[in-house]
Amino acid sequence: MTNHPGQIKSLRACLRPTLILAPLLAIALAGQTVAQSKPPPVGSRVENISIEARPLDHFQQLQPERRRFGRLQWVGGLVLTSSSSQFGGWSGLLLAADGKRLVAISDAGSWLSAEVTYSGQKPTGLRNARIGPLLGPGSKPLARLRDRDAEALTLLQGNLSNGTALIAFEGNHRIGRFTVKQNEISSAEGFLKLPPAAKRMSRNLGFESVSVLAGGPLKGSVVAFSEHLLDPRGNHSGWLWTGDTPRSIYLAEHGGFDVTDAASLPDGSLLVLERRFRWTEGVKFRLRLVPAHEIASDAVLRGETLFEADMAYEIDNMEGVAVHRGPRGETVITLISDDNFNSLLQRTVMLQFNLIPDGEARAATPNP
């Protein structure tokens, strides 16, 4: 997502602890231009970088003791910073099956690989980090910004040591197949066939999510959604690849949110991350869970809202979502934010939650 009002989505440092200032500050800044300073391409150079991680001890600011949020159980979070000019804009995310390694892609055309460290279940930092450029076919650098605007990342097959990833781009709308070796992303090897409707996507509202269904009757199928392309009924437009040909699929629009990412659970259900921005209220995010049986060509997906958060929580411009298994078999959801390379007003935030199984969620007493 580029050149969006989300350039001032966080405002977090200015708002703590008087959250009521959020709409006033947003309005005050509405007439100002906050320039995005995305770094230029760096050819084919890969470098080691250092990442500082400040822990977040709570998720809800005014109730720091609270740990349960709908069907999400707070595990922990980090605010990430680095002196590298290429660090930022993280829009797509993958974690290894055990959660101990991540790969992320930025909308400036970079990839990030790092080990995730933990104290018990709580994430504590990123180490042994490397950053490099996404490359086109033939290992050619992606020179134009519209070619580098990577927004979503998923594994098509294999793992982070040896596999194939799909990366969705907007601007120059496409979904590419990239080789992944030793936790690093190599050059593009080809592209998915695009639906004709992709031509109707706005330059800055194109492919924002891509996922491969990990189970269920459509296991192995690819699902992608545009950030904001509504059909005549007002639903978000997406596509389902059960083979080479994409077929239409839709997500019911609700509450003015846009789609920013998606990730499959092992049973083939689909987590959908959504974002909403208004000058008068700041930014919100929502997680929806669509069961596997709802997913089919031409279907309108509705799903269940797991949780919705506004600026009363430790959030920013949340754009990436990934899923892995915890040490006790729990489903862990990781979110990451795109700071738009705007360290003055935004942050790179990484959040982790356990997904509470549906049966336990229904039996539990709701949190106040």
Overall average pLDDT of the 97-121 stretch: 97
SS3 category, 311: coil
Domain assignment present for 216: yes
pLDDT value, residue 116: 98
**How many structural domains does the chain have?**
1
Domain assignment present for 358: no
Q: How many helices (H) and strands (E) does the chain have?
A: 4, 24
Overall average pLDDT of the 244-253 stretch: 95
Domain assignment present for 368: no
Domain assignment present for 173: yes
pLDDT value, residue 199: 83
Q: Kindly report, residue by residue over 34-64, the tens digit of the pLDDT.
A: 335 788 877 789 999 999 999 999 999 999 9
pLDDT value, residue 342: 92
Give the helix ranges, DSSP H, for 39-192: 145-148
Domain assignment present for 46: yes
Domain assignment present for 273: yes
Overall average pLDDT of the 170-199 stretch: 93
Domain assignment present for 75: no
Please give the full DSSP string across 4-67, using - where no structure is assigned. Answer: SGGGGS--HHHHSS-TTHHHHHHHHHTTS-----PPPP-TT--EEE--EEEEE--SBSS-TT--
Q: Sorting pLDDT into bands at 50, 70 and 90, what band is 16?
A: very low
For residues 289 and 15, the model is more confident at 289
Task: Please tell me the distance from the alpha carbon of residue 318 to that of residue 114, in angstroms, as a whole number.
Answer: 19
Q: Sorting pLDDT into bands at 50, 70 and 90, what band is 367?
A: low
Q: What is the CATH number of the domain that holds 320?
A: 2.115.10
How many beta carbons lie within 10 A of that of residue 124, not counting itself? 14
Residue 273 in this model has a pLDDT that exceeds 70: yes
Host domain of residue 329: 5-52+82-347
Task: Please tell me the distance from the alpha carbon of residue 338 to that of residue 281, in angstroms, as a whole number.
Answer: 19
Domain assignment present for 365: no
For residues 104 and 90, the answer to whether their CB atoms sit within 8 Å is yes
Q: Kindly report, residue by residue over 322-356, the tens digit of the pLDDT.
A: 999 999 999 999 999 999 999 889 999 999 999 99
pTM of the model: 0.90
Q: Sorting pLDDT into bands at 50, 70 and 90, what band is 141?
A: confident
Q: Kindly report, residue by residue over 106-116, the tens digit of the pLDDT.
A: 999 999 999 99
